[in-house]
Amino acid sequence: MMRRVFVLGPIGSLMAFSAAPAEAQSTSTVGRVAQGTLTIFRPLSIGNTANMSFGRLQPQGNGNPGTVIITSALPIQRIANGVSTLPGGTETPAIRTLSGEPGRIYRVTIPSSVTSSPNAYLVNTFTLWTQNRGDVTSTRLGQFNSSGTDVLRIGAKISLPKGSKQAIYTANVPITVTYE
């Protein structure tokens, strides 16, 4: 007669394991990980490439006041009214090299007017042109390229009063650049 033997050892152990109460397995230490966030920008910097110069100007002989506009965009142009523009004055808009966080928008703050050297004549009606965005006169907003740089050109108008003399007229234009 064949005897059947069932191996109960392993199965018995499994049953004993399963019969253990769940409370004996409870967790007494729990940890949670979280994060704070921020966005870091590069500091802004402004480099001076050229100061504004209207070049050599000769008021016309009738003694009337006149104006000269130096354009911000290329090519450099002097648009004169009642004034003769002479060579030899190295006319240029103010040129600034800017650096900051790549791709970020920045705002240019500029005074409403400054005065010329020599003679402190009125310089106003500023125009702004950037290498990355072109004419930004109305918005005053530029944008850094993928390398974090931009070039800003500042044009303006000088008003020469009655009786002004021939000279090379320049102007110092302070600007502030901030992240928008």
The residues that touch other proteins, with contacts defined as CB under 8 A, are: 2-7, 10-11, 14-15, 18, 22-23, 25-44, 101, 179
Q: Report the distance separating Cα 39 and Cα 101, nearest Å.
A: 11
Q: How far is the CB of 107 from other proteins (least distance, A)?
A: 12
| Residue with Cβ nearer other proteins (25 or 112) | 25
| Residue with Cβ nearer other proteins (28 or 138) | 28
Query: Do the beta carbons of residue 64 and residue 162 sit within 8 Å?
Result: yes
Q: How far is the CB of 130 from other proteins (least distance, A)?
A: 20
| Residue with Cβ nearer other proteins (2 or 87) | 2
Q: How far is the CB of 26 from other proteins (least distance, A)?
A: 5
| Residue with Cβ nearer other proteins (38 or 112) | 38
Q: How far is the CB of 93 from other proteins (least distance, A)?
A: 28
Q: Report the distance separating Cα 111 and Cα 31, nearest Å.
A: 56
Burial label, 154 (beta-carbon count in 10 A; 0-12, 13-18, 19+): buried
Contacts of 110 (CB under 8 A, 6+ apart): 126, 128, 140, 154, 173, 174, 175, 176
